[in-house]
Structure 1
Amino acid sequence: MAGNTSNKQGSAVTAVNVAHIAGLNTLGISLVRVDYAPNGQNPPHIHPRATEILTVLEGSLYVGFVTSNPENKLFAKFLNKGDVFVFPQGLIHFQFNLGTNKAVAIAALSSKNPGVITVNNAVFGSKPSISDDILAKAFQVDKNIVDNIQNEKLLYGYVN
């Protein structure tokens, strides 16, 4: 079934893992369906325990991942229906629907419990909060910008 994409990200991730199907225990796999509204995204995130292979079922997506330090090289591609892309384990990656129609993808992950760390939620939504001074210096922005991002996260409570 299609996920509800009427949220700030314009996407819905529907997971099928060991928490949903106990029979996946010890098999080392899980799946997700991702629905994207036009201009919807699955924001930058990491799966600490799995490699992901994504197949576009409908629409088109701009996808990519960033290698780790010191290169921090972006590998990105435009995908259409039937195209496949692999995101290596533990690397920051994303998907974005540039199209004017909805898009749907399915992803297989190489773990019964791949985990997910959404970068913006981890950095700007931690409890307790990371100090504004630390974040402002890390991102080279004014503290007011950090405050605005953190306040919006608290106000809307948005997550992936």
Structure 2
Amino acid sequence: MKIIVMSDSHNNYFSIEKVVKNFHGDLYIHLGDGERELNQICTKYPDKQFIHVTGNCDFASLSQDEILFCPDDKNCIFAVHGHKYGVKSSIEPLKKIARKKGANILLYGHTHARFNEYDDGLYTMNPGSISCPRDGNPPSFGIIDITPKGIVTRIIDL
């Protein structure tokens, strides 16, 4: 299974479309601050599967703040935007919550800075911002490949 992970598009429809159009995924996850343009993408690409959480700039959203789901019988993903978990200060509390929920993959956004690590059984990824990064890197998104042999996570420059 290939999962494409995006975050913080902030009204940049074209950045999301570029990823959806050029990178095949079995599932696309948006980690918030881009619900309006993601809704347009969902309408344009009804054959694609999208999951998203609400971000602090997704005003009047009815979407969930967090999602916990298992894409297969071995792995569980915990996805949040991150603003309610203090991720700009530290991700350690969020990692503890993810582990407590039984997740082995943690996805978050909000900081506009990419992060990708494996630590003691937990894959943690912030794909950075797909439109306005704050870490000196180009806009980016993440890819998670889940295979019978294991998990590979990577961040791709847009």
Same fold, judged at TM 0.5 (above) = no
- Quick check: which one's strand share is greater? 1
TM interval, shorter chain, is: under 0.3
The structure with more radius of gyration: 1
Q: TM-score, normalised by structure 1?
A: 0.26
TM-score scaled by structure 2?
0.26
